[in-house]
Every structure is written in C-alpha cells, then in structure tokens.
Amino acid sequence: MRRYFSAICNDSGEFTQVSPEYDPYLTVTEANNLISYLSDYVSKVKTDEYVEFLNWKSHKEFEERNEQREQEERERRALEAAKPKPPKPCTIYLIADDFNGYYKIGRTNNLHSRFSQLKTANAAIKLISSWTGIDADERMLHNHFSEKRIGDSEWFMLSQNDIEFIGEVFNTIKTQQ
C-alpha cells in the first residue's frame, strides 16, 4: 500500500513536519519516524535539487490525491441524489359536502388547518375519514374515481359503495350513514 504525506522543510533542508491530515493512516509516531528518516537521508544527500524534488513530488501527490477524493465525493453525491427518496407521509382525507352531495378526496400535512380552511369556504362540509398515507394514495383514488370527478377539482360524486370501497382499501371507514 502506497502512502501519501506532506512534508515541510526548513531553510536548511531539514524536514520539520509531516502532516498526517493528508494521510489518515499515518500515525504521529510514523510521522515522527518519517521526519527523522527523511532528515537523515537529506543530510547525507544535501542537495537543493533533491529537496526541491521532494517538495514538488509531495505537492503533486497531494494534488492528485485531493482530485481523486473530490471525484469520489462527486460520485458519492451523484449516487445519493439518484437514490429514490422514501415517500413522505401525509394525511389523506375524505370530506362530504352535505349541500350538494359531493365528496372531496385530498391530502395535507396539517388536517386541522386544512379542514378549517375548507370549512370557512363551505360550512356544509364534514370530515368523513382520514388516514396516514402518501401522495400516491391520493393519486390512486383520484385515478380510480376519475369518471366521477367534478370538473378538474378534487370533488367527486361518490356513491355509498364508493365510500365503502375506500374504507376497505384503507381500512378506515367502518360504517357510514
């Protein structure tokens, strides 16, 4: 296994610091041993070209390693973004309008607030049932009852059998009427 490190030389060519942050596998003891070894070796060779070469090589290896880590991080983020997100839970509700006999199938994150909004607009409504579900549950019901939809709204002309069907599917409505 090849190890990467960053070494700092003082003006006389002695290695004074090896940074283990560039190599998390390099312990403090190993770094100190490396400093000692490199200092001894450089003192024997004692050439400016060699010290310059070591600084250049260390920098180049660090840059290559840094580029590799950045590429790995980009790939990790891309994989994370490509993972399907689990659906967020929401409240699916069924509301009846006693005035015209229509039913609203909707979803919300705050049932109390949503019902208050709808009640302000239409006092003749009442909550038939609600359950925890996901957005796809609402879409499934809208698609299932698309022939009974009132215009482009979320209001439907449902029969008692339709309401019982919803109760059976979502196990929420025991009996009606």
The tens digit of pLDDT for each residue in 9-37 reads 555 655 555 554 445 555 667 666 766 77
What is residue 30's DSSP assignment? H
User: Which residues belong to CATH 3.40.1440 in the chain?
Assistant: 90-170
What torsion, rounded to 10 degrees, do the Cα atoms 97, 160, 133, 92 define? 0
Judging by beta carbons within 10 Å of its beta carbon (0-12, 13-18, 19+), is residue 36 exposed, middle or buried?
exposed
What is residue 22's DSSP assignment? G
- pLDDT digits 0-9 by tens, 133-159: 898 899 999 999 999 999 988 899 999
**Share above pLDDT 90 across residues of the chain, in percent, rounded to a whole number:** 36
What is residue 148's DSSP assignment? G
Higher local confidence (pLDDT), 83 or 39: 83
Question: In this model, does residue 166 exceed pLDDT 50?
Answer: yes
* H-assigned helices in 46-134: 48-82, 111-121
Are 141 and 105 spatial neighbours (Cβ–Cβ below 8 Å)?
A: yes
121 token code pair? 């607009």
Are 119 and 125 spatial neighbours (Cβ–Cβ below 8 Å)?
A: yes
134 token code pair? 């996901």
Pick the CATH number of 90-170 from 2.40.160, 3.30.870, 3.40.1440, 1.10.3470: 3.40.1440
Question: In this model, does residue 103 exceed pLDDT 90?
Answer: yes
Q: What global pTM score does this model have?
A: 0.53
